[in-house]
Chains A and B, each alone.
Chain A
């Protein structure tokens, strides 16, 4: 991406999201932290277009003028003020409300805690972190078909390591959701972190999963 210049041609696919509005919700609460506002702008436009009931809680988020033109927005001055806001909003929201948070892990955890305290079920709480979870320790992987042995550094994903040595691997969401990068796991025990049950199929999601501590993986790539 960073090598591109204005005027370059790129191939694009339709957008694909794992953080979508739930159409059965009676009310949507969108919680934006900083640039986490990005996907929630689309949510707000969607809800405004369809006439859904929604509100936005924002902390440190840009584009407030756009949001305010779409529907009700409450701005918290800092994270502590946001924490004070969450309890009453979640606690008094109509039954069948859903909450969507995009922001740093701390904000996501605060929203989840407020929802739990208000006796919400987990299925009504949605989040998209824009800061990746800590990646875990280093390990080695054997690429069986390419006959390569690659060291995956701490903080590096298996997918990045494979890219680094120039072996082609499919990918799309990079969050363990879409299943595009699932690759046969031939040897070793993995620490599966995907959401598509790769383990059940004897495969591994290159974008998020790692070796279990002390293990070396062998994959069909």
Chain B
């Protein structure tokens, strides 16, 4: 899908330095937090299609009810502040939600599941481009309590459900980064929002690289079947937001996927040079973790040649 390919000029190029090391790299979030691209409707339709076809893309522990409502209200309120044609009116525990762009109008009572057509997280998750994860804070640790994730990058929400923050990051090199990150998140005051960028390369423009769907994308990825590097290989930037939810203290983790073909990276010489430098100097364990053993040098060579 050409959807999340970031045709707008505001592509969040993720590399701030000529070398890359795994780090928490958080910065205070700035509005807008929720992305609305030119292909907004297509992205949302795809999200619903994936969720409806594979219900495992949504999980919620029974003890995540309050945090899920907390996340719902935060997300709807955020949309109402950032987007035109969207409003959230409140009268005590009663809310009226209007999303004119999608033709959604819904009244609901906070905490009363019978007043929404579906779980609060999927109700919200179908109306934002971002994947939504709720990390509950208990015993000085964070736990993956709930989420709707349809665009996972080589992980599975259903598999990770219930894991601690440390367990979630088990496969990542530099575990000490995540020890500090968890402590940072647990110290965040309610309502605070932070942003970080993550990145990778992939040889197609599928935002959904979930392990649940690996039969669809895995074989081609393993064969590294590429005919035209510039149009097929994509830079995948994940715009991640971390929000301390005001009522429950749970951490809301939002992941927005933005794909850009290498040809478009090459069109911005500074980006191209930066990506080449990063790929050339990537430490072995990061290269292996990001599965860039072959794809990395292939992309770097192509970018170098495109500037000859």
Residues of A within 8 A of B (CB): 13-17, 20, 22-24, 46, 49-50, 123, 172, 178-180, 195-197
Contact = CB atoms under 8 A, between A and B. Distances in A.
Given A14-B191, A23-B63, A172-B189, A50 B139 contact: no
A14 B63 contact: no
Contact of B64 (A15, A23, A179, A196): A23
Interface of B: 63-67, 111, 136-140, 183, 187, 189-191, 246, 248-249
B246 A14 contact: yes
- Counting from the closest, the 10 A-B pairs by CB-CB distance are A23-B63, A14-B190, A179-B187, A24-B63, A14-B191, A14-B246, A16-B189, A123-B139, A22-B138, A50-B66
A16 to B, nearest CB: 5
Contacts of B246: 14
Given A14-B246, A22-B139, 5 more contacts: A16-B190, A24-B63, A50-B66, A180-B187, A196-B187
Contacts of A179: 183, 187
A16 B187 CA distance: 10
Given A22-B138, A23-B64, A197-B183, A49 B190 contact: no
A105 B187 CA distance: 26
Contacts of B64: 23
A46 B70 CA distance: 13
Contacts of A50: 65-66, 111
Given A14-B246, A23-B136, A49-B111, A196 B183 contact: yes
26 contacts: A13-B189, A13-B191, A14-B191, A15-B190, A16-B189, A17-B249, A20-B137, A20-B248, A20-B249, A23-B65, A23-B66, A23-B67, A23-B138, A23-B248, A24-B138, A46-B66, A49-B111, A50-B65, A50-B66, A50-B111, A123-B139, A172-B189, A178-B187, A180-B187, A195-B140, A196-B183
A14 B248 CA distance: 12
A198 to B, nearest CB: 11
Contacts of A196: 183, 187
B189 to A, nearest CB: 5
A220 to B, nearest CB: 19
A182 to B, nearest CB: 9
A156 to B, nearest CB: 25
A178 B246 CA distance: 15
A172 B139 CA distance: 20
Of the candidates B189, B190, B249, the one having the most CB atoms from chain A within 10 angstroms of its own CB is B189
